[in-house]
Amino acid sequence: METHRHAFRSLPVTHWPRRLGLAAALVALFAVAGCAPEATRQVPARPVSRPVVQQDLPTQAERICRTGLAELGADFVPLPDLTAGSCSSSNAVTLYHLASDNTRVVVTNLPRISCSLSQDLSNWTRFGVSRAAQQILGSPVVKLETFGSYNCRNVAGSSRLSAHSTASAVDISGFVLADGRRITVKGGWSGSSEERQFLRTIHQSACKRFGTVLGPEYNRAHEDHLHLELGGGKFCR
């Protein structure tokens, strides 16, 4: 894992995996032309008449999301899209680290998570989780433990596809603090008063940042993790 630590941040945009449409090719072509010295500037009169070499350019949405995620201080590697039966995942990344105020935060078990969800997770980790840990527990968070994101399955006990089937949900199971303490959702939800206050505080802050948040109060299936899901609708339990 460590070998990937700076894998993304060191990659220039042009090296990302790409699927290049004609429009994107032309944008890139004109961008290059626009930056060239006057003497070498050549804009083809009929650029569409030539076949375009199919490079692996990211879509604009992918590029915007990945740039935003990098600016949030995350270390990640962009992934090609995936289709597996009725499940699919686009604009996803492998996520290794997030950044909080003064520390890097390791995230575990996220080989495939939506880029947009990664941005929300990043902001929640920094502004919701690590600051709450500092204030309530006296130490910032250095590791976020998860049960993963992408998982081609239905919602437990139903025939409806879970948001995990598109890598649009992540299950948070625990936190390691800079002083070495480890707080799990399963143990801490009914743990010391500090742990209970910390977990309820970050549950509430998650509800402000994610579309759906399910925790131990929701049902037995969530007694050991917080389910955080992208989406416009607000459902917080």
Binding site residues, Zn ion, CB under 5 A: 169, 171, 227
**Nearest CB to Zn ion, comparing residues 24 and 169:** 169
- Smallest gap from Cβ 127 to Zn ion, in A, equals 22
Cβ 202 vs Cβ 184: under 8 Å: no
- Smallest gap from Cβ 58 to Zn ion, in A, equals 27
**Nearest CB to Zn ion, comparing residues 62 and 171:** 171
- Smallest gap from Cβ 169 to Zn ion, in A, equals 5
Q: Which candidate, 235, 194, 192, 195, places its Cα nearest to that of 215?
A: 235
Question: Dmax over Cα atoms in the chain, in whole Å?
Answer: 72
What lies within 8 Å, CB to CB, of 31 at 6+ separation is none
Q: Which residue has the tokens 């944008």?
A: 27
Q: Which residue has the tokens 């630590």?
A: 5
**Nearest CB to Zn ion, comparing residues 203 and 227:** 227
- Smallest gap from Cβ 161 to Zn ion, in A, equals 12
- Smallest gap from Cβ 86 to Zn ion, in A, equals 18
Residue 176, both tokens: 């390691």
**Nearest CB to Zn ion, comparing residues 62 and 145:** 145
**Nearest CB to Zn ion, comparing residues 65 and 172:** 172
Q: Which residue of this chain has its Cβ atom nearest to Zn ion in the complex?
A: 227
